[in-house]
Structure 1
Amino acid sequence: MTANPILLQKKYSRVIECFAKKQGLSLDAALKSFYYSETYQLIRDGVSDMHCMSDAYLAEELEQEYIGKMTDKCR
């Protein structure tokens, strides 16, 4: 299923804002992290109706992915 592009853009902005607050990041840093994430690709491609998940859930998924990437960099 594909979502309306305008609604997706609004969803992206809410998820990015929630993620930035949780991680204490600037909106620019959160935006960059979001657009390079696997979570974004899944939402964009309509996989498993990810766009139907709550903003908080998607921000949590993004947070877990971000922490995983940061942990991998430290190894």
Structure 2
Amino acid sequence: MMANPVLLQRKYARIIVLLAEQLHISLAQALDYFMRSKTYELMSEGIADIHCLSDAYLTEEIIREYTS
């Protein structure tokens, strides 16, 4: 199921802000991390309805991608 594009863009923005806060990095750096993540790829392709998961969970998943 594909999410509404506007709602998905808002979700992306919330996740980027959370990444910046949790990693103590700029929004530009957080955007770069987000756009290069496998999680973003899955969300943008609508795979497994991953966009339905919470912002906090998806943020942690992206952090795990970079720390593993």
What is the TM-score of this pair, normalised by structure 1?
0.87
Shift of 1:20: 1.1
Provide the C-alpha distance between the structure 2 equivalents of 1:29 and 1:19, rounded to a whole number of angstroms: 9
Larger Rg computed on CA atoms: 1
The yes-or-no answer on 1:63 pairing with 2:68 is no
Percent identical among aligned pairs is 50
What is the TM-score of this pair, normalised by structure 2?
0.95
Q: Which residue matches 1:5?
A: 5
Provide the C-alpha distance between the structure 2 equivalents of 1:53 and 1:23, rounded to a whole number of angstroms: 20
Q: Which residue matches 2:40?
A: 40
Provide the C-alpha distance between the structure 1 equivalents of 2:40 and 2:66, rounded to a whole number of angstroms: 12
Q: Which residue matches 1:72?
A: none
Would you say how many aligned residue pairs link Structure 1 and Structure 2? 68
Counterpart code for 2:37: S
Q: For residues 18-69 of structure 1, what are the alpha-carbon distances to aligned partners after superposition, in whole Å with 9 as ceiling and x for unaligned? A: 111111111000001100110100111111111100000000001111223x
CA RMSD across the alignment:
0.7
Gaps of 5+ in 2: none
- Look up the SS of the partner of 1:25 in the other structure: coil
